[in-house]
Each structure stands twice: as structure tokens, then as C-alpha cells.
Structure 1
Amino acid sequence: MKLNKFITLFILLLMAFAQLPAQYVKKITLEEAIQMGLQHSRYLQIDKAKVEEANAELLAAKNKSLPDFKFNTSYMRLTNAQIDMKSKPGNGGSSNNEQGPSVNQAMLGMANFSLPIYAGKRIKYGIASAKLLVQVAKLTAESDQNKIAYNIANAFTNLFKTAKTIDVLTENLAASQQRDKMFLRLEENGIMAKNDRLKAQLQTANIELQLLDANNNYATAMLSMNLLLGLPSLTTVQPDSSFIHLDLQNMPFSNFEAAAISNRKDLQSLKLQQKAAAYATRSAKAENIPVLALNGGYVAANVPRFLSVYNAVNLGIGIQYNLANLWKKNAGLLQACAKEKQLNAVNDELNDNIKLTLHKNYQDAMYAAKKTLVYQRALEQSTENLRITKNKYNNSLATITDLLEADAALLAAKINIINSRADASWPIINCWNQQVYCRLKN
């Protein structure tokens, strides 16, 4: 009977584990995370479609320089058509009215050909502008890649910091709980006062609260990372720590600035937009210039028992001009000029913001690097302080409060050094509205 119960319990446990969702651990570097995120990003698929749209607009601009050829044919059924033929006789004769034949159908075919010869360079400027806008679409896609890479790097760094913080807190909590057990035995033997033991337990409770908070942050950071990388929600990503080995202490600002600006695709895109706007202004000015085109055509008609026309080919040059341009203002030109002014102002503002943001991020990076050195010394000092305080406490030269304070200081130093190293190892440059990541090396 006991054996049957054991087998039943074992089967139930197997069924319970079988119903649990599958989980797997994936260890990746920062570079791998960025690559995976870029491949998964749906936003980049939108950018790809925008590039295709820009190429289609370029094709439409080029098509305007090609000839148009239109063909039209029709068959018409006529009902009770009355035809009154009027003919002019020879010199000195009089007009005669003749009754025309009975016509009940007609067929007509026409072909028209038109090739633009000169349009004030509107077509040329339109093609040049469309080519630039294709490059703008591509640069915008690259700028969005930088933005996505920034978000991935930020999520990766946060996940790394929370994971390491959990490791430190878990280790410290285990040591604190072990110390509580020892203090409880000392209290039971009358060696330690109850309030001293309660002080130690209170610190243990504080560590537990910190660990709960860290686990909550870790779960949020893990979900964010999985969404960015397109991984299943139950995947456990283990960030590789190799990215923290980066030294900016001896990097001059000029190198920092050059590396950052070279990645500013939004700035490059704006330059091309300015050029495209200049072409648009020229094209708008050309609207007041007549259009010269080579025209040709062919006409064929057949009306049984009445009329037949074949090989009626025509060829000539046509001029088209809208006389309303003489009294109407060129609204397109005004819009194009306003667009140029707008882009020039945006360019000036963007350059100012780039300079300001670069200086700020450089100072922040240097500050984080220097702060890491301070935290490193603090870690060494707090470690030595705890060792000395333990010896004093064991020799009744220090109180339990001194011991707990030294232990708390060491815990804080360990967490601070983790956060500062991660923050200083990956400077993320956030310029104006576009976020650009750049891993800087000496």
C-alpha cells in the first residue's frame, strides 16, 4: 500500500513538472544582444518600407523624363445617324446639298506621343531631390538602429547591475542569517543580550527587503531584455561581464567628440534634407517657365459607306504655359523657401545641442570613472574595517552596533562598485532627439 502511494505521488509530481513552462538560460555579450535586437526590431521593418517608398518616388521622378505614349481605340454603334454632306463645286459653281449614306457604326483609333524637351530643369531638380531623399530614408533607418542599440545597451546594463546586486545581497543575507543563528545560541547561553540579537535580526530583515526589491527590478529588466531581443518571456538572459572592461581615463575629448559625431546619422540626414530642399526651391521657381515638348500622333478612322482615314501621322513641337502664373503668386516657391529656412534653423539648433550633450556626457563619463576609483578604495577600506571590527568585537572592544555598521558599509560598498563600473564602462551618448551609442576604445 505504501509503495502504491509512493508511485502515485511520484506520477503526480512528474505531471506537475510536465505542466511547467519550459525555461532556458542564454548567456550573451552586449554586442550579441545589440545584433539580436536589431534583427528582431519591428520598427526597422517600417524603416525598410520607408526606404522602398523613397526609391519608388525616385522612380516616379525619373519617369517624368521618359516619353508618354497613349493609345485609344473605340467602336461606336450609331442609331438613325443623319449625315448632311456639303460639297463645294468648282470655280463659278453653286453649292449643292447631297443626302449622305446611311451610317450605323464607326471605328476610331488614335495614338499620341509626347516627349518633354525643356521644362525649366524641373525634371532634373526633381530627380536630384528624390535621390537625396532616398539617402535621407537610409540614414534615418541607421539613426533608428542607433536608437534601438541605445535601448538595448541600457537594458543590458540594468540587467547586469540587478543580477550582480542580487548575487551580493544573497551572499550577504546567507552570512547574516548564519550570524543570527549564532547570536541566538549566544543569547540562549546568556552570553548576549536580547536587544543585541534583535539588532542583528533587524539588519537581516533590511537585507531581505533589499533583496526583494532587487528581485523585482531584475524581473522587470529581464522582461524588457527578452522583448527587445525577441526571446521567449521565460528566457533567462545572463549578461556577459566583458563589456565593463573599458577605460576612459586617458581619452581626450576630441576623440570622444569625433567618435560621437561620426555616428550622428540624424545630422547627416539633416544635411541631405537641406540639399533636397534647395533642389525643391529651384524646381518651384521653374514652374513659371513654359514647358516645351515634342508631340506626335497617329489617327485612323473607319465609317463604313462614308469615311476612311489611314496613316494620318502628325509630328510637331508643343508649348505649354499657364498664363495664370502672371497674376498668381507661386505658393510652391514660398513653401519651399520656408522649408529651407526651417531646416537651417533646425540644423543650427541640432549642432548646439550636440555640443552641449557631448560635453555633458563626456563629463558624466569621466565622473563615473573617477567615482569608480573612489568606490574601489571604499570597498578596500570597508573590507579592512569589518575585519578589524570583528576582531575588536570578539575581544569585547567593540559593540554589536559597530559590527553591524561595518557590515552594512561593506555591503553598500560592494553594490556601489558594481553600479559604478557598469555605468562607467559603457558611455551612452544621447544627443538631441536621436540616441546614438558608441563604444569608445583607447
Structure 2
Amino acid sequence: MRSNYCVFKMDSRSRKKGNKCNTFQIPRNCTGCHACVSICPKKCILMQDAGEGFLFPIIDTEECIHCNQCERVCPILQDESQSSNTQTFAIKSKEEDERRNSTSGGVFPLLAEQVLDKEGVVFGAAYDENFAVKHIAVTDHTKLPLLQGAKYVQSTIGNCFIEAERELKSGRQVLFSGTPCQCAGLKSFLKKDYANLITVDLICHGVPSPKLWQDYIDYRSARENNGKRPLRINMRSKVSGWSRYGYSTEFDYGHGKITQIHNSQDLFMKAFVGNICLRTSCSKCKAKGVERCTDFTLGDYWGIWNQHPEFDDNKGTSVVFVRSRKGMALLEQIQDKMECLKVDVEDAYRENGNLVNSSQVHERREDFLAQVTPDNFEELVRKYFPKDSEKSLGLLWRIKRKLDRLF
């Protein structure tokens, strides 16, 4: 295998004892998409934390038969076919409650409900009981809210690629949602374009460390609830409005009080937007661009208040990039449930440069992730993002989007 692909190599004896391999190299371009783990016929590849909370593949060299399927399926080493005729829309769901509970305009639940109505299955990211983010399959409407809302951490795919393939081969309609690199991994794993598959990715800033996410929850719980963890977390509350960076984070500890912090003051959001906790592959993301291998890309329509103020009500508007006939067909099926405005592609990402641009890694990233714990979380974030240099998260976003418009 190519040296920039494999992270760990471990023999069978070490694997059976549950040991970690002490000698490894970290390929900065590995996205952790799980395609190699899913394709391996010998099941001799595992995903393991390399020390920062991100999962990388481990290969049991004694079990490996050198079929090279893992290398051939890797979307970083191979090229996925891309779309060539993207259409772009600003969309708002007419269902107020659904839109209120969504990150932006409530488009994802509309698409997902349409698939579930046809007895299909929807894959997406959900919190588990410890607020770790994992991909799961949903087959009924009551579980769909688990997949809604922003989750600013890399999710674990697990066996979802294998499960999705099984459902597709049975003839069931499948909607798979994830980050662009996860969707690229799925398409590469499947090796063919299924007519009954809908893929939905998002405009991605980058994926923060799962370990840092747990440190953040522990930090806030210790400060706000005597160490007891929350019952509910909402990272994109619209209580103070959607546009112009007015949203907040909410922690619900189940005793009648919800702790809200405006996102300009939230320490995790400072680290996230400041690029100090992202996976290294996010700085050179191969999945960026208008043209992609997915049917849909969803995101916040930042700047809608400037371009089409008549369409903005400060409750959330989605920007939707549609790339396939089956994508357009699905959109037409939900047209009576939404308000839709066709827009120019370049206008749609004018203030949303993460569609095409990677987030540049913070120069002190490795130092920060090596040191951070729940106990020193606030101290370190304030050290690397002092108030005198970073007045607020809103300022960070505004500067970033001005640069996006320039470049």
C-alpha cells in the first residue's frame, strides 16, 4: 500500500491483546471516511484514535492478503466522477416548527420525510447517550429529529456504508447525508450509481476533534451543573434569530433551566471557527467545489438579507445545490411544502466560501490539541484567542466572509 495511506500497521498478536501500535505515521490527507474499513474482505482494518481524537485506519499486516481494495476505494487516492450542471436555490420550509428545529431553512427534513414516506431509510449523524456523534439509520418519522441540527464534530460512520449497500441492493430507497468526504467515501465504496440512492452533503467548514468535543461538554457540565452531563444540546439555537450570527448554544440539564451562551462568546465555537481543532485533511479538502459527486449540497444562505431581502425573515434560509435528475425529481416532490427561489450559483456562495475553499489550519493546532483537557479548556482557548485580538465569533465570521468575497 502507498505510504501516505496506511496509518498504523499491527500484527495479529498485538491486535488480539488490544494493544496500540507504537510506530505509525499520520497521513495528513486521510479523512477517516471508513471506506477502506468497509471494503476490506478480511476485516483486518480497524479505525483507531491517533492521539487527537480523530480516527485513522489500522491494518493488521498478518491478516492482510494484499488485495489492495482499500487503496482502490480510497477517495483521496482515486477520483470520483463529478456533476457538471448544478442548479442553485434559496429554500425555506413552510413548516414553522420544522424550520425552527433545523439549522437553517429546514430542507433536510423535507427531503428525508419524502424518502421515509416511501418506506425508505435515511442515514445521518446523531448524538448517542454520551453526545458522541455517530451515523445511524432511521426508518420512521419519529426518529428523524435525531438527525436534525448542527453537530460540530466528526461523526463515526461505523457499518453504515455496508448497511446502505444492503438496503440499496434490496431495492429500498436510501438517503445518505454526511460531510462531503463521507459522501465521497460512500460513493467510492458502492462502485456504482444506484438509482435509488440520494446523497446529501453540506457546506463544511471542517470537522473538529471528537475528543475536544467531549472535553467541551465536560468543561461546561462542571461549570454549570456540578459535573452532571446534559440531557440535550443545541449548538445552533435560533432563540435570538438566525441571520447575522445571532444564534446561541443551549445546554439542557433537565432541571428546568437551559443554559444559553451567545455563540460569539462560546469557547468551543471560537476554537472551531479559529481552525485550531480541525482534522488536518480539512486544510486541503479534496471534496470542495461547486461540482461534486452528490445529489444535493445544503447550507445556510449567508447574505440572503443583502441579495434577496424580501426572502429573509430571520428564521433560517437554506442554500441548496442540486446536481442530478433524481435530485431535481425529489425537490419537485416537496415543492408544495417549501418556498423556493432560483438563484445564481456564484451569488449562492458569495458569502459562503467554504463551499469551494478549505479552512486553513491554525499554526498552533498541534500544541492546542496536545494540551487541552476539560480542566484547562477555558484557559487554553482564551490563551490562543485572547479578547483583545478576537473580539467575538461574529467578528471572525465577518472577516472570513469578506475574504471569501475577495477570493
Query: Which bracket does the TM-score occupy, shorter chain normalised?
Result: under 0.3
Which structure has the highest helix share of the two? Answer: 1
State the TM-score, normalized to the length of structure 1.
0.18
State the TM-score, normalized to the length of structure 2.
0.19
Point out the structure with max Rg over C-alpha: 1
Greater RCO, CA 8 A, separation 6+: 1
